[in-house]
Amino acid sequence: MSEESEPVVQVKGVAKSFGHVEALRGVDLEIGPREVHALVGDNGAGKSTLVKTLAGVIVPDQGELWVRGRRFEFGDPGAAQAAGIETVFQDLALADSLPPGANVFLGREPLRKGFLRRLGFVDRGAMTVKTAEYLTELGVSLPSLDEPVGSLSGGQRQAVAVARAAVWGSNMIIMDEPTAALGVRQTEFVLDLITRMRDEKKLSVLLISHNMPDVLRVADRISVLRLGRRVATFKSSETNLQDLTLTLAGMEGPDHG
């Protein structure tokens, strides 16, 4: 299998229970290279559990994770990051009191050169310059790189979180409900960021969303979770809102997986 056709990420038989509740029941999922793959499902379908599993936050009861043909262990956020998987959670996990550059490099701060490096001084100028470059590559313009991110709009804050993920994620970016609580204009901005990550940064994106029209606009393929199982996977070009709605409700035809 060529590198262009080999899945970037493969989830094989992942299961997770919390007491008597089966959150995931043997989920299989493949995300291809330079693909926006959407994951949809009603509340309780298992989306959040699967996202946290891929992000290294949750250890599943069984199953395997493969990244570009190499098996990785679950349960360690550092291991997920080492596998080139970055997650933009719904709460963004930004430090509101810090400027964009400090957020993009949070926990990975570059140090000053020479004697100051030995003393552990952070190179704030380098962080600002690099962040400006990354945001420009994503087509993002912020009013200031010196002001704290808490002063930015929802879409601009999302852009900073996306920039951080795009900088450090070499294989796949997970975006958990990125347009939730955003207005129409900000939603358009974020959807454009998603397509730019695929088309210009050449990254794969796993998009979790309740917004079916948004999903149909930007996703290449759409997988439906229901009661902890993947029940179907559609090509976006070959499905529509009605098909997705029926599948979510459990009234789908043959499996499209």
Write out the DSSP string of the chain.
--TTTS-SEEEEEEEEEETTEEEEEEEEEEE-TT-EEEEE--TTSSHHHHHHHHTTSS--SEEEEEETTEEE-SS-HHHHHHTTEEEE-TTTT--TTS-HHHHHTTT-PPBPSTHHHHTT-B-HHHHHHHHHHHHHHTT---S-SSS-GGGS-HHHHHHHHHHHHHHH-SSEEEEESTTTT--HHHHHHHHHHHHHHHHTS--EEEEE-S-HHHHHHH-SEEEEEETTEEEEEEEGGG--HHHHHHHHTT---S---
Question: Picking from 9-23, 219-233, 237-251, which range would have the lowest pLDDT averaged per residue?
Answer: 237-251
Q: Give this prediction's pTM.
A: 0.87
pLDDT confidence band for 119 (50 / 70 / 90)? low
Q: Does 116 or 23 have the greater pLDDT score?
A: 23
Look up the CATH number of domain 9-248: 3.40.50.300
The pLDDT tens digits for 163-189 are 888 888 889 999 999 888 788 888 898
Question: Picking from 9-13, 81-85, 105-109, 145-149, which range would have the lowest pLDDT averaged per residue?
Answer: 105-109
Q: Does 257 or 217 have the greater pLDDT score?
A: 217
